[in-house]
Amino acid sequence: MPILDVNEIRQILPHRYPFLLVDRIIELEEQRIVGIKNVTVNEPFFNGHFPDFPVMPGVLIIEAMAQTAGVLVLKTIPDRANKLVLLASVDAAKFRRPVVPGDQLRIEMTVIKWKSTVAKMAGRATVDGQVVAEAEVMCKIADKPAENSSQAE
């Protein structure tokens, strides 16, 4: 049984289809989280990446890692409805093998450092126990802009 299903994740993260890249959370601790992304042939990016050899773009694997990290960060914040977790940096990203339709990404993120508004996490994504990607991501907690605020020109 998942700890969080996709509906519960949607209550935590602001992302929506087609950009919500975490289907469930299967482990959740204070300093560690494990998420699952089921990669299907219906993903919109496969139409152009690549038509004859569908491969999940590496930047979207990193985004799935960042979203998984975002669930951990936002889950601990009492006023999370008023906060966003923004990706601030990506370091040491490595891609080991292509991720293709039918794969199930297992994304494990572990806290390296966490200060009041910044969290740095190490992550790895695996498929069938084989590492497909690794990276360190830094997330910044920010206030959501007011709904009726307009940007100055």
Name the burial class of residue 55, with classes exposed (0-12), middle (13-18) and buried (19+) by CB atoms within 10 angstroms of its CB. middle
What gap in Å lies between CA 139 and CA 5, rounded to an integer?
22
Which residues contact residue 133 at a Cβ distance below 8 angstroms, ignoring those fewer than 6 apart? 58, 61, 62, 65, 93, 94, 95, 96, 99, 124, 125
What the block records as the tokens of 51 is 């038509």
Q: Identify the active-site residue in 49, 75, 83, 140.
A: 49
For residue 49, indicate whether it is catalytic.
Answer: yes
Task: List residues with catalytic annotation.
Answer: 49
